[in-house]
Amino acid sequence: MSDCFCGSGLQADECCAKLLAGGSAPTAEALMRSRYTAYAQGDIDYIERTCAPEALGEFNRLEVERFIEKAIWGGLEILRVVDGGADDQTGLVEFIFSCSYDGEAYQQHEVAYFCRKDGAWLYEKSDVNPKQSPDRVERVGRNEACPCGSHKKFKKCCGA
């Protein structure tokens, strides 16, 4: 018995192997993990089979084959899951995967969107390297109280 490629901590035959063999993913996260495992094992048929119709229009089998051929998979980290449970119709999984590609270290951050069609979870699309909202910076006026807590004016304290 070996641990599953997806990093769930489960044995492969208790996790993604049964999905790749034809089982149905119970959640969007389970589908995401099984798709990562399919990439790591080179199961392009599974990757294609778990695409929603809109994703199939952009699926390039030859490009996927070329990528898989040169990749050594290093791990999957799930950052966030929104919906995608057994009773949901849509779900979102944010993740980072790492690999070595053609001898170079590679890491990709994605937010993947999933939908349920005829009871089965399918991959719809993803945002690669999603932009995060910028940190808000508040400007302190010269004559306002210094934010350090000294009770002095900013211009006479940290703003000097």
Cα 39 to Cα 46: distance, rounded to the nearest angstrom: 9
Domain 12-131: give its CATH code.
3.10.450.50
What is the pairing mode between strands 71-83 and 120-128?
unpaired
The 10s digit of each residue's pLDDT in 67-89 is 999 999 999 999 999 999 989 99
The 10s digit of each residue's pLDDT in 37-65 is 999 999 999 999 999 999 999 999 999 99
Domain borders along the chain are: 12-131
Please give the model's pTM, rounded to 2 decimal places.
Answer: 0.79
Exposure letters 31-44 (e unless 16+ CB within 10 A, then b): bbbbbbbbbbbebb
Cα 158 to Cα 83: distance, rounded to the nearest angstrom: 45
